[in-house]
Structures are given as structure tokens and as C-alpha cells.
Amino acid sequence: MKTVLLALAAVAVATPATAQVAPPPARPASAAPARTILFIGNSFTQGAHSPVRNYRAGTVTDLNGDGYGGVPALFKLFTEQAGLNYAVSLETQGGRSLGFHLTERAARFNRPWDVVVLQEYSTLDRRRPGDPAAYIRDAGTLAAMFTRANRNAEVFLMPTWSRADQVWRSGSPWSGTPVNKMADDLFTAAMRAKAASRDIDGIIPVGLAWNRAFSTGVADPNPYDGVAFGQLDLWSYDQYHGSTAGYYLEALTVFGRITGLDPRTLGPNERGADELGLSNAQASALQRIAYETLQAEGRR
């Protein structure tokens, strides 16, 4: 382990020559009409408690007018650099479930979309943490709505990560469990929701990407005992939301799953990483984690 940490530390420090390399220019965008994509979720989609929240907000459409860029804006930037044409929109509300969006906000997004990404509350059910019943019901209802509006719509579920505050502190169903278990449970719930609905087309394994980052030594799994030198902290200051690195990994996983492209093709000089303060080595490591996770999960 010490050898691994030292190796990671070595690559994490870019040389002055490397640091001054300009990000690669975006490839020419496709002349085809823009493919529309809608993100529905909460603060984990917004990029809350990090510079990602308001990042490039002008490049996406916030249906609520809150001015968020978030993970959708990172996705938009990745697609531009890949020469793809996506019109990106988001409808988010911090601390809310898919049920809230369904009952309170449907009028804002009930129309045809090519792709929809649905992100549920971080513990599935606020009153009954870990209970997937409402998630399975509401995700299916939303997916059916989007399929009625566009029979060719692709609807994806995006299960998120293990919250450090739920794992390393008492009072949670995941207290004292391995750090990967909460994310594994959220992924299992998403798989159950997909199995219960003919309108849900796939899963974006964001939480499993975080798990891989922990297991391979790219990220530190326990921020409460300090972050090891050479490793990334994927959580923000509240040990709940994502950090810049955590949201960057989320966006990479979305990009790879939705477009089918290898996230590693964005390269170490990827523009978003540079603008948000991630090193070339950190960008490359996170791109590799997203790629390996998607390869392991296939097209589920």
C-alpha cells in the first residue's frame, strides 16, 4: 500500500512543463440536430458545496431558473470536446426525491426528450433510509411519462455514492459497514427499479465508480482520519456531498455511459479539470476509474 501511495503521489505532482500545456481544442461539433438531455435530481446533480455548482451555467438550461451548471454543465463540456452536439437541461432541487419532482415539477419537464437522467435522494427514502419502494415506483412513473412523450426516449437511473457521514458516524443503517456497501445498496435499488419498468433503459454506476476509486487507492475512503498523501478526497467539507473531484468522476461516468465513448479519450489536458483546479494526473486517474467501472458493468 505504501508503494501504491508513493506512486500516486509522484504522478499527482505535475512538472512545470506539463502544467503549462493548453487543453486540447474541442473537435468540430456534429452538424446533426442537437440531442436533448434532461437531468432531474437534487444537490448531487447540482454539484452543491463545490465550484461545480455554478460552473459554466450559461451553457445549459436550468428549468427552474436557479442558475446552476453542475454536473450537467461538465457533461456538456465533455461532449463539446468530443465533437458531439447535446442540448443540456436540468431540473433540480436540493434535498428532494424523485417523488417531489414528479408531483411538484412535472409541468416544467413533461415534454419530449432524447435522454433523461434520474437521480434519487442519497438514502433513497428520507424517513426510511435504504427503503427502495418509493424509488422503484416514482422512477417507473417518470420513465413512463417520458416514453409517452417520446417513444424513443432513453431513461437512465443514476445511483450515487456512499456518504462518509452515513458510514463513519453512528445513527445510520450503514454505520460501521464497509464504505462500499451504501453505494452497492443504491445500485441494487436502481437495478430493481429498472427490472420493474420497461421504460427504464439503463444505469449510470456513479456510486460504483466511487467504490473503485477507493479500492484502487485513487481516493481516500475515510476523510475523518485525514486524507492520505497522494489520494483524492471525493467528498466536500460536510463528508456528504461531492468535492470537485467527486463531481468530476460523476460527470465522467455519465459521459461514458450516455455517449458510449471512452472517458479516457478526453485526456489529461481536459478543459474542465484544468478550469476546476484538478491536475493532469488527477484528471487521468479519474477518467481511468470511470472507464474501468463502465467496462465492468457493461450496458446494464
Other beta carbons within 10 angstroms of residue 32's beta carbon come to: 8
Q: Which domains does the chain have, with CATH numbers?
A: 31-297 (3.40.50.1110)
Q: What is the pTM of this model?
A: 0.90
Q: Retrieve residue 89's grid coordinates.
A: 437541461
Yes or no: say if 251 and 209 are a contact pair by the CB < 8 Å rule: no
The pLDDT confidence band at residue 255, using thresholds 50, 70 and 90, is very high
The pLDDT confidence band at residue 300, using thresholds 50, 70 and 90, is confident
C-alpha span between 300 and 54 (Å, rounded): 31
pLDDT digits (tens, 9 = 90+) for 90-130: 999 999 999 999 999 999 999 999 999 999 999 999 999 99
For residue 4, pLDDT beyond 70: no
pLDDT at 298: 76
- 464497509: which residue's cell? 178
C-alpha span between 60 and 57 (Å, rounded): 6
DSSP β-bridge partners for residue 36: 87
How many alpha carbons fall within 13 Å on the CB side of residue 41? Answer: 26
C-alpha span between 162 and 217 (Å, rounded): 16
- 431540473: which residue's cell? 91
Q: What is the mean pLDDT of residues 1-6?
A: 42
Yes or no: say if 178 and 185 are a contact pair by the CB < 8 Å rule: no
Measured in degrees and rounded to the nearest 5, phi and psi for residue 87 equal -100, 115
Which H/E stretch holds residue 183? helix 181-196
Q: What is the per-residue burial (b if ≥16 Cβ within 10 Å, else e) of 212-227?
A: bbbeebbbbbebeeee
Which H/E stretch holds residue 61? strand 61-62
The distance from CA 241 to its chain's CA centroid, rounded to whole angstroms, is 11
Yes or no: say if 258 and 205 are a contact pair by the CB < 8 Å rule: no
Please enumerate in sequence order all residues whose Cβ is within 8 A of that of 283, keeping only pairs 6 or more positions apart, or say none. 248, 266, 267, 268, 269, 270, 273, 274
Q: Retrieve residue 227's grid coordinates.
A: 486524507
* Count helices and strands in the chain by DSSP H and E runs: 13, 6
For residue 287, pLDDT beyond 70: yes
C-alpha span between 118 and 101 (Å, rounded): 10
DSSP 116: E
